[in-house]
Amino acid sequence: MPTSRSEETDMTRLTNMHRARLARRGVRALIVLTAALAAVAAVPSAGACTRILWNGNGVAVMASRSMDWWGSSQAKLHVMSRGVRKSGASTITFSRYLGEGTGHVFAMAPDGSHVEQITFGSGVQAHSALSPDGTRVVYSQVDPKGSSINVVRLGNGAVTVLNRGSDWSLVPSWSPDGRRIAFTSDADGNYEIYTMAADGTDVRQLTFTDPPVQHVGPKYSPDGTLLLYATDEDVQDPATQQDLWVMPSAGGTGTRLTHGLDNRESRGWSPDGRRIVTQTVIDGVGQLVVLNADGSGGRQITHYTADTPRFEPGGIFPVMRGAVTPAWSPDGAWIAFAANPNGNYDVYRIRPDGSGLTRVTRSPEPELSINWGPPRAD
């Protein structure tokens, strides 16, 4: 379909804006501009889509077009630099939500540099986790066909669908040895905890309850013996309470860790397995709490205010505001998470004692579903 004049003007304006911004950067500006023009040319004139083009100089441009509720076409242009990753640097993965049911997994260095798109499929890819050997990323794939747990191999981008059915399978987590994946699924009609081999075989259901009780978001302990998860089992008000439990990773009786917590958006272990970071909703706003592995000694480390905006994208993402999806760094020094004190969700990091709060990303699109893994090995 030919590009309309208004669409040509839209793309030209974006390109000129980036040309002016980059003109002071010499040869690198020319490299970026060349990539930008190629990416713009690759975006169709109608419909929601995304194109990312890398060139041999480690520069990429993401050109995207989305349709708003009134049918108007909007174009956006983002310049990314892959560069040379620092040897031995750990990796943060996250999902960037582009709107209208589209979102992809990205990876970056802990300081926010070397941002690279990892998944490119239709729909939303979220809940990512880098494998212990740094070669693969597991994630939830949600699209009009349903949901599945997928794995993408870094380096060649090969995607493997581990399970696909009429059920919803979400929030995967690697075992420390990389041999199994824990996840949540409603395969039996209720959200329960499952594990499977890393190739999608040997699926095992570990929890068995009746609605409305749910068990969600399992995370392997660093030694692989336990699964940390959230459930509204044995709570007075499931709408406002969801406590932390642990259970043997091979299945067995669960042990309750907290009482009266409202953990909705993820949880995780410290690298030594002695502490847990969790999100909890306090007065309607998400905050981070660090506690001992037995559930004692809880300490709130974020303090977002009651006027923090609500985020309501729909689809896979629930209504939320404040801090969500915390993940401990492999060295134990930091906790990464997403927050929206200014309206848009970005990636932040903070020390486990609540000091050193730092904003890591400043993207025009919401960035959520944070995980912190080992160095990449691709």
Residues 241, 222: Cα–Cα separation, whole Å: 26
Per-residue pLDDT at 352:
98
- Give the pLDDT confidence score for residue 339 in this predicted structure: 97
- In 122-249, beta strands by DSSP E: 124-130, 136-143, 146-153, 159-164, 169-174, 180-185, 192-197, 204-205, 215-220, 226-231, 243-248
pLDDT in tens, 316-326: 677 889 999 99
Instruction: State the amino acid at position 169 in one-letter form.
Output: S
Alpha-carbon distance of 92 to 374, in angstroms, equals: 9
Can you give the pLDDT at residue 145?
77
What pLDDT shows up at residue 234?
A: 85
Please give the pLDDT value at position 85.
55
Residue-level pLDDT at 197: 97
Report how far residue 337's alpha carbon sits from residue 354's, in angstroms, rounded to the nearest whole number: 13
Average pLDDT across each block of 10 residues of the chain; the chain has 378 residues. List them in order.
33 38 40 44 45 44 41 44 60 93 95 96 95 97 88 95 82 97 93 96 94 92 97 79 94 94 86 97 94 97 95 78 96 97 95 98 94 94
Residue 193 CA to residue 60 CA, distance in Å, equals 39
The CB density around residue 54, as the number of other CB atoms within 10 Å, is: 15
pLDDT, residue 242, reads 87
Q: How far apart are CA 39 and CA 62, in angstroms?
A: 7
Residue with tokens 């259901």: 205
Encoded tokens for 33: 């501009």
The domain limits of the chain are 5-79, 87-373
Q: Considering the entire predicted model, what is its pTM?
A: 0.79
Please state which architecture CATH assigns to domain 87-373: 6 Propeller (2.120)
